[in-house]
Structure 1
Amino acid sequence: MSVDNTAQQELELATKWLDITITNFIENMRKLRIEDTGTLMASFQKQVVGSAEGRLQMRLSYALYGKFVDMGVGRGMGAGVTKKDDGYDRIRMSRGRLKRYARKKRNWYATEMSYQTRRLSELMYELHGKLLLTTVNSALPSETTITF
């Protein structure tokens, strides 16, 4: 296994990992019924970049309001609406609580991301462990036997 081959395998692994992660995010959103307009699901973008230093970089982006849905926070009204406006009384009570519904967190991101990050590290350890064993094995004299 050469270094170039390993870099290619890392790139393939990262691309597949991003595909699976996005698929799992969308499944979580459907399960939790976070499909109001579909714009959050459509906002996912991924990019895998191999840097000059040999480090692999991945970028996963999505609409910012997705974090607010995950945490169960947000204003619940349009930008620019203040307490003095007519729209404020229509949406909120005098103490600031929403009239329509109470917000609750819907964990579509946090739990899945921690699991997927751990899984990516396991896959990378496995890939580089094979490279290490191959390198050690090829550097040893042929008469020597090592038992692991």
Structure 2
Amino acid sequence: MTIEEQERVMADKWLDITIGSFIENMRKLRIRHTGALMASFKKQVIGAANGRLQLQLSYALYGKFIDMGVGRGMGTGVRKGDDGYDRIRNNRGQLKRRQRKAKRWYGKEIAYQTKRLAELMSDLHGTLLISAVGESLPSETVEINL
């Protein structure tokens, strides 16, 4: 198996693990209104022409809003003074029924997983380098005098 194939397999497994971690974080934080966000994850491993590997991970946009704690409570086009505004918010602009609260399912996990991917790739390349050096050494005993 070539190094490109090994990188591709490792990247695909990493994407599976990362998506699993995201879904687990959502379950812990009880982010599952309809399950649409959990079902929206798509992954793709792309090999570029110059030999660089590219990973693509996509999910529904409103997942970012849940992570940041913004975006709930007003429909599009509702402005202060409209009937819909007064029904949902008080005179200071705060939500009547519940406050927005960030549910951090994304930030720390993607930072950890990205660092882990870098470690895995460097281990893969280090192992391949050591094996290439080991194969190129002569088969007889090598003596080094210091």
Same fold (TM over 0.5): yes
> By how many angstroms is 1:142 displaced?
2.9
Let me know the Cα RMSD of the aligned residues: 1.5
Which residue is 2:113 aligned to? 116
Q: RCO greater where, 1 or 2, for CA within 8 Å and sep 6 or more?
A: 1
CA distance in structure 1 between the aligned counterparts of 2:36 and 2:19, rounded to whole angstroms: 14
Residue 82 of structure 2 is aligned with which of 80, 85, 89? 85
Which residue is 1:107 aligned to? 104
Are 1:64 and 2:70 an aligned pair?
A: no
Decide whether aligned partners of structure 1 residues 70 and 91 sit closer, same or farther in structure 2, where only a CA change above 3 A counts: same
> By how many angstroms is 1:140 displaced?
2.6
Q: Deviations over 1:90-133 (max 9, x none)?
A: 11111111111111111111111111111111110110001111
TM-score, normalised relative to structure 2: 0.91
Decide whether aligned partners of structure 1 residues 87 and 32 sit closer, same or farther in structure 2, where only a CA change above 3 A counts: same
The percentage of counterpart residues that share the same residue type is 66
Structure 1 residue ranges (4+ consecutive) displaced by more than 4 angstroms after TM superposition: none
Which residue is 1:40 aligned to? 37
Are 1:16 and 2:25 an aligned pair?
A: no
SS of 2:86's equivalent in the other structure is helix
Count of residues paired in the alignment: 143
Decide whether aligned partners of structure 1 residues 139 and 35 sit closer, same or farther in structure 2, where only a CA change above 3 A counts: same
Gaps of 5+ in 2: none
Gaps of 5+ in 1: none
> By how many angstroms is 1:75 displaced?
4.8
